[in-house]
Amino acid sequence: MPSNHDVNIKNSDGTLNIPKWINEDYFKGIVAKDEPDSLAIRKLIPTPAIPPGENFTSIMLRIQMDIEMKEFHGSLKHKSYIMKTMMADDKGGAIFNNLAHFPKEMKMYNTILPAFENLYMSEGWHIQLAPKCLLAEKRDGRITFVFEDLSQRNFKNINRQKGCDMNHMLSVMRKLAEFHAASIVYEQQHGSYDEDFQYGMLDIRRGAGHVKTAYETIGRNFKQVMGEWNMDQGEECKKKFPSYEQYWKCALASLQPSSNSFNVLCHGDFWSSNIMFSYFPNGEIDKSLLLDFQVCKWASPAMDLLFFLTISAGKEVRVKEFDNFVSIYYARLVECLKLLRYGKRLPTLRALRQDIYDKKNTFYAFFACMSHLPLLMLPPTEDCNLKNYTRLDEEGEQYRLKALRNPLFVEVIRDMYPYYYRQGLFNFEDYD
């Protein structure tokens, strides 16, 4: 047991050191609250919560334990929890630990998400948006969460390399609409979200210094291999690949949500590994829940829609059903807004489609294509992490070229990049 010494385990960024304070004493209060009929924790073992290459910004542990129960004369009950905490700076966490990601997520789990779910509860709808959070605390400068282990309720992630089929996409679009609808009604009742929620993945208050270096490093390799993908209008797309100045203007535009648009609290990192599904015995989807609320941002719903449709829709539906998914999302959004007594004029489908092609929202599609999609299409291995993908040395360049030449990535980018280019999203001369 890890109660008396640190333990090394393997996770997505290599060897992780388990602090001494992750022990039976730490979990006593959590277990007492979650299992009122418990007597004591008899065994506690931390293990990786996810396979290597499935998480890029935090440490995720599954805390497995045997709990002695009062009934049946001290019988043991097996229980597990998910613990999420900050990565060490030298393990790739420096970029994220300097941002507001973990403090923002504390606000989400402590206050905002419970309020969203209560909005539905007050209208008679039992909608759970996220896993139950049993603890969110800051200790010695490190923020830590303890969640219910959704695997004990048979929730699963899909294969991120394959993406979502039609049935999973229907579930995701509806769940996203439920989250967005609650967020705008909450804003109407409680006022604007604080400043942290005006920034998402791009936070120029704390993290602007690395943007130019990262873009020029990744962008150089991206443009280098575009001609190998054999995609429609490939040479034209390569010729009009954005300069850093165009990219920076595109990124800055994303920080300025239109005052006359319908804005919501976007999830901000909305892709398949941040959604879990449970299923009926016949294999049909029962429920879906959202994870990871570190980069939520006040913006157009187009932000989450573009990001998800770019990197997590499956091969058979990603372009063919693109417009249909927007309509499915919109129908559920309006249904939820009406239920929650939204006090303003309902958004229109026409306006939502205009937002998707607005130049202020292009960043989320392009950033997903260049910085996320290549990494997410790699097989889940120990070296599949953001630190390796953004390295400035020769090893980093070879890793990026491997990702950008990966047949699974090429299959997706060959669909999405020309599609966005033809729709006008990737016409970066608009930013000149």
* SS3 labels along the chain: CCCCCCEEEEECCEEEEECCCCCHHHHHHHHHHHCCCEEEEEEEEEEECCCCCCCCCEEEEEEEEEEEECHHHHCEEEEEEEEEEECCHHHCCHHHHCCCHHHHHHHHHHHHHHHHHHHHHHCCCCCCCCCCEEEEEEECCEEEEEEECHHHHCCECCCCCCCECHHHHHHHHHHHHHHHHHHHHHHHHHCCCCHHHHCCCCCCCCCCCCHHHHHHHHHHHHHHHHHHCCCCCHHHHHHCCCCHHHHHHHHHHCCCCCCCCCCEEECCCCCHHHEEEEECCCCCEEEEEECCCCCCEEECCHHHHHHHHHHCECCCCCCCCHHHHHHHHHHHHHHHHHHCCCCCCCCCHHHHHHHHCCHHHHHHHHHHHHHHHHHHCCCCCCCCCHHHHCCCCHHHHHHHHHHHHCHHHHHHHHHHHHHHHHHCCCCHHHHC
If one compares 74 and 67, the residue with the highest pLDDT of the two is: 67
If one compares 198 and 202, the residue with the highest pLDDT of the two is: 198
Residues 64, 212, single domain; the answer is no
The answer to whether residue 69 is domain-embedded is: yes
List the domain range (segments joined by +) for residue 60.
Answer: 13-148
The answer to whether residue 90 is domain-embedded is: yes
Q: Please, how many CA atoms are within 13 Å of residue 5, restricted to the half-sphere of its CB? A: 3
Decide if pLDDT at 330 tops 60: yes
Q: What is the pLDDT of residues 93-133, one digit of tens each?
A: 445 555 578 899 999 999 999 999 999 999 999 999 999 99
Residues 272, 308, single domain; the answer is yes
Decide if pLDDT at 7 tops 60: no
Residues 255, 284, single domain; the answer is yes
Residues 193, 262, single domain; the answer is yes
Decide if pLDDT at 165 tops 90: yes
* SS3 labels along 7-45: EEEEECCEEEEECCCCCHHHHHHHHHHHCCCEEEEEEEE
pLDDT of the residue at 381: 76
Q: What is the pLDDT of residues 293-308, one digit of tens each?
A: 999 999 999 999 999 9
Residues 132, 197, single domain; the answer is no
Q: What is the pLDDT of residues 172-189, one digit of tens each?
A: 999 999 999 999 999 999
- The residues, ordered by sequence, that sit 6+ positions from 428 with a Cβ below 8 Å of its Cβ are 240, 241, 242, 243, 246, 247, 250
CATH of the domain at 241: 3.90.1200
Least confident of 64-68, 139-143, 207-211: 207-211
Residues 257, 315, single domain; the answer is yes
* pLDDT averaged over every residue in the chain: 88
* Residue 7 burial class via C-beta count within 10 angstroms: exposed 0-12, middle 13-18, buried 19 and up: middle
Residues 199, 94, single domain; the answer is no
Domain termination residue (choose one: 100, 117, 148): 148
pLDDT of the residue at 379: 87
Domain termination residue (choose one: 148, 171, 195): 148
Residues 184, 47, single domain; the answer is no
The answer to whether residue 378 is domain-embedded is: yes
Residues 165, 100, single domain; the answer is no
How many domains does one find in the chain? 2
The answer to whether residue 2 is domain-embedded is: no
Residues 74, 178, single domain; the answer is no
The answer to whether residue 5 is domain-embedded is: no
pLDDT of the residue at 87: 63
The answer to whether residue 153 is domain-embedded is: no
CA–CA gap between residue 92 and residue 16 (Å, rounded): 12
The answer to whether residue 75 is domain-embedded is: yes
- The residues, ordered by sequence, that sit 6+ positions from 185 with a Cβ below 8 Å of its Cβ are 119, 337, 340, 341, 342
Decide if pLDDT at 199 tops 80: yes
If one compares 16 and 263, the residue with the highest pLDDT of the two is: 263
pLDDT of the residue at 373: 95
Decide if pLDDT at 164 tops 60: yes
pLDDT of the residue at 3: 30
The answer to whether residue 321 is domain-embedded is: yes
Residues 143, 182, single domain; the answer is no
Q: In percent, how much of the chain has pLDDT > 90?
A: 72
Residues 278, 184, single domain; the answer is yes
Domain termination residue (choose one: 98, 113, 148): 148
CA–CA gap between residue 322 and residue 310 (Å, rounded): 10
Strand partners, 264: 299
CA–CA gap between residue 288 and residue 280 (Å, rounded): 12
Residue 72: pLDDT band with limits 50, 70, 90: low
The vertex-344 CA angle with 342 and 345, nearest 5°, equals 110
Give phi and psi for 17, each to the nearest 5. -100, 125
Closest CA to 291 of 312, 270, 315: 270
Task: Please tell me the pTM assigned to this model.
Answer: 0.90
